[in-house]
Amino acid sequence: MRIIVSGGGTGGHIYPALATVKRLKALEPDTKVLYIGSERGLEGNIVPEAGFDFKSLRVQGFHRSLSLDNFKTIYLFLKATREAKKYLEVFKPDVVVGTGGYVSGPVLYAAQQMGIPTVIHEQNSVVGVTNKFLARKVTKVGVAFPAALPAFKDNLATVVGNPRAQEVVDGQGSFNWDELGLSANVPTVLVFGGSQGAIKINDSMVATLNDFAEKPYQVIFVTGAKRYEDVKQQMIDRKINVAKNIAVVPYISNMPQLMPRVSLVVGRAGATSLAEQTALGKPMILIPSPYVTNDHQTKNARSLASAGAAEMITEDSLSGTTLFATIDQLMTDENKRQIMANAAMKMGVPDAADQFIALIKSVIK
């Protein structure tokens, strides 16, 4: 098989694409892969490091308000489409797959004009602008959440989950609890606000940190490397002495090894995180970021909360008091956590990469 994949800008678009082609290469080593990303996106570093051939295009997004800069966006889109056609003519793919982000627009649009089968993947409950545009002529669509299905024509989209989840499930291994000064045999809650950390989550955790002392469970509080020093200073200012059942760290380098071993996850509602956590069957407290396009994290979180897999705390109602009360209620109620875990497992797709690959293969002529 010869496959071109395109997705970029953020990890939420890049990692599902990489998980898909990594799995495909494992199943069919002779598969040829070309990744087309944007000049400024994270994919420019991540993809070559993963060992895949990479080409870049210059693109930018539309402004939602009237702006002369949108004329530049259209110009760059048309130019990128012409460049993408050249890559397609040389590589001669059997199929072109897009996982979102502005760069996938011209790549898949070019493929559609050339009569090459195209498949898109939508990670969120709310369909992104690029995928809405491409859906008019796309061959097939894979979605992570059933809530996204009504946005597409009948029989066009299939729930396949998020391919990133299969990497996490398959990649489980040992975790060294001694590095955190904690025990492998005590129920654990993991609190994190993403790779960069989240200010409101961090502030709320600092405000309630002392309340977790002497509890019959332990806490891992991941601040994000960028915000670790700020959190440390807040703790000094508040004269907080970290209890022995609490670890405050800037980041966890081997999160896939830790995640299966925690009892409760507290964090944002990004598509990649939710895919991993549902595939592992983790009960969750979700605090969706209100600063993302179309408020899609809130809609993601509501999907899980309505299914009984998560509790949701909105950013404007988040405080040390509400956060501690919600965590403590769940960490002292094992039966409730198990019910939530079962609901999460039902929503998860642990073989998502395999399912998405099957969908991709179904469109190849």
Starting at the edge strand found earlier in the chain, the sheet holding 246-249 runs: 246-249, 218-222, 188-192, 264-267, 284-286, 310-312
Contact 320, 208 (CB under 8 A): yes
Q: How far apart are the first and last CA of the chain?
A: 11
* H/E segment holding residue 109: helix 104-113
Using alpha carbons, select from 167, 142, 124 the residue that is nearest to residue 268. 124
Only one residue has tokens 């004329």, namely: 71
Please check if 128 is assigned to a binding site: no
Q: How far is CA 129 from the centre of its chain?
A: 17
Instruction: Tell me the C-alpha to C-alpha distance, in Å, between residue 363 and each of 172, 212, 251, 358.
Output: 32, 53, 41, 9
Please check if 124 is assigned to a binding site: yes
Only one residue has tokens 């899980």, namely: 304
Please check if 10 is assigned to a binding site: yes
Rounded CA separation 207/162 (Å): 35
Instruction: Tell me the C-alpha to C-alpha distance, in Å, between residue 140 and each of 118, 293, 352.
Output: 7, 24, 16
Residue type, 137: K
Please check if 252 is assigned to a binding site: yes
Please check if 120 is assigned to a binding site: no
Please check if 273 is assigned to a binding site: no
Please check if 202 is assigned to a binding site: no
Category of 224 on φ-ψ map: left (φ > 0), alpha (ψ -120 to 50) or beta: left
Q: Residues comprising the binding site?
A: 10-12, 124, 195, 252, 297
Q: Residues comprising the binding site for UDP-N-acetyl-alpha-D-glucosamine?
A: 10-12, 124, 195, 252, 297
